[in-house]
Chains A and B, each alone.
Chain A
Amino acid sequence: MKRFLKKYHLEILLILPLALYIFYFTLIPILQTIKMGFTNPITGSLSLDNYRYLLEREDFRKAFVNTFIISILGLIMQLTAGLILALMLKKEFKTKGIFRAIILTPMGVPTLVSGVALLYIFDTQGYFNELLYRITEGLKYIGLIASTYRFVPIDWASGGIRTILMIAFGDMWKVTPIVTLLLLAGLESIPLDVYEAAQIDGASKWQTFKNITLPLLKPSITMAVILRSVDLFRIFELPMILAGKTVPVLATYAFEEYRVYNNPNISGAVSTILLVIIMIFVLLYLKYVDKGEGLA
């Protein structure tokens, strides 16, 4: 032990501030939150009361379901858009630099601000409804829709699946560039001669994509799925801005329980549930979908 300390004293000294900080300001708070979740606020004893309370709450069940739908939907949308854009940006064409810069635009916009922008777009009197209105007017003019039809503006923030779609779209807008860059890095690491060989063998685009690109891209896809699902389950700012109280997700529900109803113990229980969900999801993905290949 002494020899170890002597040999590595510099290393230990250099890493100590970070280790202590993470221990004191991250690890201990995490344990405190978990403990809070298992503590009855009145008696102060360890119990499952908070979880029992949550199971009976309609709001909580809704938040639970909403979080799942947003995560799965968001993941599918982001990966699809990211993959299409990455494949496009891998091609060589003249104006590539400009398009690359445009597609990365959302990275220069804070999440909160993207929420604000979408607020204007998806307002009842917003720009998306106006676009839909103009399209219906146009279709009426051509005669594809009966001229008696009146477009009723859609209230996107009224809750339900519409609002979920709006939030999922908002998150997709914000993170698609990140997913694109992640997948693009993966695409660029695939050696070109594999494609040349496929071309010589007369493989079609689809065959090349399915049999070469997708399998070789798997590590990048795994990385993207894990990073994005962790963030999607914890989604907070966008639902907070876009939906207020109509579509709670687990993170905003935890905040409300603490700030509005002053129930830190309930809030701790929700956070713990959220952590468990995230861990289960990541482990299941690694075990059954990726089989550990992606992180190896």
Chain B
Amino acid sequence: MMSSVKKDRLGKIIDVSFFPLLIFFSLIMLIPVYILVKVSISQPVDVLTQHPTFLIRNFTWDHWIKVLTSGKLWPAFRKSFTVATLTAIFAIIIATPASYVISRLPKKVKYIVILGLFFTRMFPNVGIALPIAVKFLKWNLMDTYIGLVLAHLIEQLPFITWILVGTFEVIPVDLEKSAMIDGASRLRALMSIVIPNAAPGIAVATLFVWLNSWNEFTYALYLSLSDNTLPLQVYYYVNRGGFFQTATYATILTIPVAVVTYALQRYLKSDYLGGAIK
């Protein structure tokens, strides 16, 4: 046997550096968020200078008040909110029954279907958005809620199907079978046995779809000419160089995402991640 001192040198290094490294990573994860919020509540002297301060010196609500009363926030907010909600509702209606069927397919077929769904995600968004934009221009769907909902579903349907297949898979087939032996029709068994059992999974998936749609940028960019969604509003101020409006809008965009993500933390499994969270 080799001397154990030599063997565990790496182990020792790990033991000593464990907490410092963990704190270092934690700081990196937190600092960008802190800076963002800090800029949105700082006075220009602390930010637009050669030497910005790290701490909040001159606190102010000015930028927030300006943004909240400017009249430009609410239309964008409403558009993002409505589109995200409609996208989530339609995604659930279309994807739930389909995922149930996919989850009951023979293993090999299921694998191919899921791979097919993944393939649609391999194509760059800018490629799909292009013919969609051309088509929607013809159909007069630019700047409309329904146009955006249709476009957001392109990305969200494969994502939610992926998640829901995993949810349905773990519900035992025997449950439906016994219901059907008791005289329930297949549809009845599905509605009163399978769906209620899958309800928590469906709810979590819906929230993730809502978030993805709320954050969506590429399709919104292609399909909007004058009515901005909230992410586009952020981008608009980035281009205009509005330092404080950008920070404030960005913070507003983040709040629901942060709240939901934090609340759903324990549901964050690799199933969900495999899909599309970006």
Contact A267–B126 (Cβ < 8 Å): yes
* B210-258 contacts to A (CB < 8 Å): 214-215, 217-218, 221-222, 231, 234-235, 238, 243, 246-247, 250-251, 253-254, 257-258
* A116-167 contacts to B (CB < 8 Å): 116-121, 125-127, 130, 133, 153
A213 contacts B by Cβ under 8 Å: no
* Distance from A268 Cβ to chain B, minimum over Cβ atoms (Å): 6
Q: How far is the CA of A101 from the CA of B14 in the complex (A)?
A: 22
A102 contacts B by Cβ under 8 Å: yes
Contact A227–B274 (Cβ < 8 Å): yes
Q: How far is the CA of A84 from the CA of B24 in the complex (A)?
A: 12
Classify the interface of chain A: helix, strand, loop or mixed.
helix
* Distance from B114 Cβ to chain A, minimum over Cβ atoms (Å): 11
Chain B, 39-74, contact with A by CB distance < 8 Å: what is the 0/1 string?
100000001111110100000000000000000000
Closest to A204 in B: B7
Contact B122–A116 (Cβ < 8 Å): no
Contact A22–B274 (Cβ < 8 Å): no
A53 contacts B by Cβ under 8 Å: no
Q: How far is the CA of A233 from the CA of B132 in the complex (A)?
A: 21
Q: Which of A39-47, A54-62, A71-79, A107-115 is the interface stretch?
A: A107-115
B202 contacts A by Cβ under 8 Å: no
Contact A202–B51 (Cβ < 8 Å): no
Q: A15-B97, A112-B253, A267-B126 are in contact. Are A25 and B150 (CB under 8 A)?
A: yes
Closest to A37 in B: B127
Contact A26–B120 (Cβ < 8 Å): yes
Interfacial chain A residues near B7, Cβ < 8 Å:
202, 204
Contact A113–B22 (Cβ < 8 Å): no
Number of B positions contacting A (CB below 8 A) = 92
Closest to B259 in A: A108
Contact A29–B126 (Cβ < 8 Å): no
Interfacial chain B residues near A127, Cβ < 8 Å:
31, 35, 52, 54
Contact B11–A205 (Cβ < 8 Å): yes
Interfacial chain A residues near B123, Cβ < 8 Å:
26, 30, 33, 271, 275
Q: How far is the CA of A177 from the CA of B32 in the complex (A)?
A: 15
Q: A173-B29, A178-B273, A205-B10 are in contact. Are A110 and B52 (CB under 8 A)?
A: no
B101 contacts A by Cβ under 8 Å: yes
Contact B98–A14 (Cβ < 8 Å): yes
Q: How far is the CA of A264 from the CA of B51 in the complex (A)?
A: 44
B16 contacts A by Cβ under 8 Å: no
Interfacial chain B residues near A133, Cβ < 8 Å:
51
Q: Which of B138-146, B169-177, B261-269 is the interface stretch?
A: B261-269
A interface residue count range (under 10 / 10 to 19 / 20 to 34 / 35 or more): 35 or more
Q: A18-B98, A109-B254 are in contact. Are A258 and B215 (CB under 8 A)?
A: no
Closest 8 CB pairs of A and B: A271-B127, A14-B97, A108-B261, A18-B98, A117-B32, A108-B258, A110-B215, A32-B131
Give 15 A-B contacts (CB < 8 Å), ordered by A residue: A26-B128, A88-B22, A99-B22, A101-B265, A105-B29, A118-B32, A120-B39, A120-B243, A120-B247, A125-B49, A127-B35, A181-B268, A185-B270, A236-B218, A264-B134
User: Using a CB–CB distance below 8 Å, which chain B residues touch chain A?
Assistant: 1, 4, 7-8, 10-11, 14, 18, 21-22, 25-26, 28-33, 35-36, 39, 47-52, 54, 93-95, 97-98, 100-102, 104, 117, 120-128, 130-135, 150, 153-154, 157-158, 161, 186-187, 214-215, 217-218, 221-222, 231, 234-235, 238, 243, 246-247, 250-251, 253-254, 257-262, 265, 268-270, 273-274, 277-278
